[in-house]
Amino acid sequence: MSIIIAILVFGVIIAIHEAGHFFAAKACGVKVNEFALGWGPAIYKFKKGETTYALRILPLGGYCSMEGEDDDSSDSRALGNKPVWQRMIIMAAGVVMNLILGFILLICMVTSDDAITSTTIHSFESDNAVSHSTGLEAGDKIVKINGMRIFSAMDISYQLQNDSDGIFEMVVERGGEKVTLPKVQLGRTDNMIHIDFIVVGERITFVSTIKETAAQFCTYSRLIWISLADLVRGKYGINDLSGPVGIVDVIGDVVESQRDEVTHKIDWGALLTQILNIAAFITINLGIFNLLPIPSLDGSRMVFLIIEAIRRKKIPAEKEGMIHLIGLGLLIILMIVITVKDVIHLF
């Protein structure tokens, strides 16, 4: 079941990304030679008009192959013969579609709950709660924790659980004004910060749903950037990365967590919410990752287009294509290493 769910999740996310490139290319009059989901030998393919549509054996990616994408072409409808601004739109369209999909999935998540978990304090565990003793009051809206802007309740949990010394400084909104509270050291239980306050559950309306979705979208996006920065700084290594096999393993754990120990029946509603959460994180992750200026990614192609726009001179397609080919090869090697690590971890 976890493999089937993973294939469906990857398939939808990849299809949406490549569809962004495809429809933008068609709108700009670019010839699309092939639209493929997956890599390797084709399981099924057909040709409609000028484009071949293919489903390939390895569900780990996909591509939208456009005329003149990585080489020179005399075809007037080749990508390289279109204005820079049109090529920028085509390159950015995949990322935009991933981010839109992430927003839609988050809307589904928010509306699947009975209420919205806000960042406003409702009450405390007890009268002598540590957070209450430092000035935090019912009705306060948490704005910052240790300097980090709080968008959603997930930010509160993240900041409290990932702090090294357990000392926190909060900024709250109280009566329309921002108030900085004295620093407090929260207690720990089993090496986890003990949160001694309860937040307000808000009613789900159209406005509150959009606001909460936007807040969670900001939370997910920032968390991805923080993780990438931590990876560059060396806080995380290769053993902390996961590929498709690792994600299948995570989905398997999620499925089992929603299975009743006695009846062995699965709570499909709760499982769907968890899968939406994973899918939203992956598609936003894919969108942001593709913005990075790494050869073969959309972000790198955007950099080349920006350079061309500044220089008012094209970079030779063969040279750019070779750079992207090398980058793709390195990414494939990284994916193989991560996949082998994930397989070993299973055993």
Residue 106 phi/psi, 5-degree rounding, is: -65, -35
Residue bearing tokens 């899918």: 279
- Residues with a catalytic annotation lie at 18
Cβ–Cβ under 8 Å, residues 233 and 168: no
Q: 183, exposed or middle or buried, with CB in 10 Å at 0-12, 13-18, 19+? A: exposed
